[in-house]
Amino acid sequence: MGRSLAGASIAASSYQRILGANDRLSVGIIGCGGRGLLREVLQFTKETNAQVTAVCDTWRQQREKASEQVRQADGNTPEQLIRYQDLLGLKGIDAVVIGTPDHQHCTMLAAAARAGKDAYCEKPLAMNLKELNEAVDAVKKNNRVVQIGTQVRSWAPSVAGRAFVQSGGLGRIFKIEQSRNGARPYWYGYGERAVTEADVDWKGFLMNQKDRPFHAKQYAGWYGFREFSRGPQTNLFVHFIDLVHYVTGAQFPRSVVAAGGKFRFQGDEYTNPDSVEIALEYPEGFLVRYCSTFGTSANSFLKFIGTKGVMDASAWNKPWVLSGEGSTEPDRLGPGAVVPPAEGPHHMKNFLDCVRSRQTATIAPIEAGYSHSIATIMADEAFITGRRMVFDPARKSIHAG
């Protein structure tokens, strides 16, 4: 992608409508589930002069709950829609927030771009390379402002950690690791939600997946089924690998290997693995390792390892801890070293501000979504095939090698 995806601003002539400082942003919510994106938009409506004017979800109760949330927060009652196409067809909508199941992200983002809407799109951006390229091309062709929902990069400790690493504080990084475990797969809680066929648009949920009879657990617990999400290797892993890219400035892994399976929860009907191990090699000269194991909540950590010592980011949303332990270099970090504090804008507010200012340089622009998607798709392909996957940035292709 490189320079072809770069761009700091958008020419005014490319827009039918240019928002002034006093114009109210009209925002549509596509997917009203538990990710909290509607709540984040409502948190900043007054500060950014925005208003949620439409909510869309294939689940009736979710639509109604979202509508009531908006009414209580702003006093207006948004239009309720079932299909995302109908929301995108509303001429007054300036931007949309896409918080739907993973298999819908690229299709909806591309459609939003073609409809002239800016978009906040949840992660992971893509489940396969073809959809990824189509979505990115649509965003670039239509000059849209996009924020990808990898909000961890906006947290103050992440901003501080990036600044510390970019200043050379950790020396030369050569290894980054995360182990992120849980007592049970995260999709279990979602799958336990009660849902009836009469309350949902099943075909609207399936979208581009194979038609089948209504399946309540697939609808409620879609995180656990490969048709709708690829499992921890593309869901939890995406936050970590996006943070690796953000902190180090790297874009794409050179190669990826992976292994995993269902080792603890073998008797359920879900099709995603409960354990994965992923190893990535980066052309910048460092290795990355990711592990998820469900069945234990022990042994979770996140560490950046450099020649001067270790930066421990295990507590994501708390200041990261520095240590010179293990380093034999004369310039290793001393006792009591800390990452100097730093602050950044809120992820959602940054998006709304960029929609108004027409700046495409959001905190997590489409380029960031492309980068994390390449890594996650490579990891999933390596997991499925058992082969080492290689990325060719010039050809935008992934192949075994």
pLDDT in tens, 282-330: 999 999 999 999 999 999 999 999 999 999 999 999 999 999 999 999 9
* 388, two tokens: 């080492």
Is the pLDDT reported for residue 5 higher than 80? Answer: no
- Find the mean pLDDT for residues 34-63: 95
The CA-atom distances, in angstroms, between 262 and each of 40, 46, 88, 366 are 35, 47, 39, 33
pLDDT at 400: 97
| Residue 13 banded pLDDT, cuts 50, 70, 90 | very low
Is the pLDDT reported for residue 277 higher than 60? Answer: yes
pLDDT at 154: 97
Q: Which fold would CATH assign to domain 2-153+347-365?
A: Rossmann fold (3.40.50)
pLDDT at 4: 35
- Find the mean pLDDT for residues 32-52: 93
- Find the mean pLDDT for residues 236-259: 98
- Find the mean pLDDT for residues 173-187: 98
- Work out the burial of residue 228: count CB atoms within 10 Å of its CB; fewer than 13 is exposed, 13-18 middle, 19 or more buried: buried
Percent of the chain predicted with pLDDT > 70: 95
Please identify, in words, the CATH class of the domain defined by 155-346+376-400. alpha beta
Helix (H, G, I), strand (E, B) or coil at 296: strand
For residues 92 and 26, is the Cβ–Cβ distance under 8 A?
yes
| Residue 21 banded pLDDT, cuts 50, 70, 90 | low
Is the pLDDT reported for residue 229 higher than 80? Answer: yes
Q: What is the pLDDT of residues 108-120, one digit of tens each?
A: 999 999 999 999 9
| Residue 34 banded pLDDT, cuts 50, 70, 90 | confident
Delimit the domains of the chain by residue range.
Answer: 2-153+347-365, 155-346+376-400
Query: In the predicted model, what is the mean pLDDT of the chain?
Result: 94
Q: What is the pLDDT of residues 72-91, one digit of tens each?
A: 999 999 999 999 999 999 98
Is the pLDDT reported for residue 20 higher than 90? Answer: no
Q: Which residue has the higher pLDDT, 90 or 17?
A: 90
DSSP string, 67-78: HHHHHHHHS--P
Instruction: Please name the residues in contact with 282: beta carbons below 8 A apart, sequence gap of 6 or more.
Output: 248, 250, 252, 253, 254, 288
DSSP string, 141-168: HTT--EEES-GGGGSHHHHHHHHHHHTT
pLDDT at 3: 33
Is the pLDDT reported for residue 18 higher than 70? Answer: no
| Residue 243 banded pLDDT, cuts 50, 70, 90 | very high
- Find the mean pLDDT for residues 269-293: 98
pLDDT at 63: 97
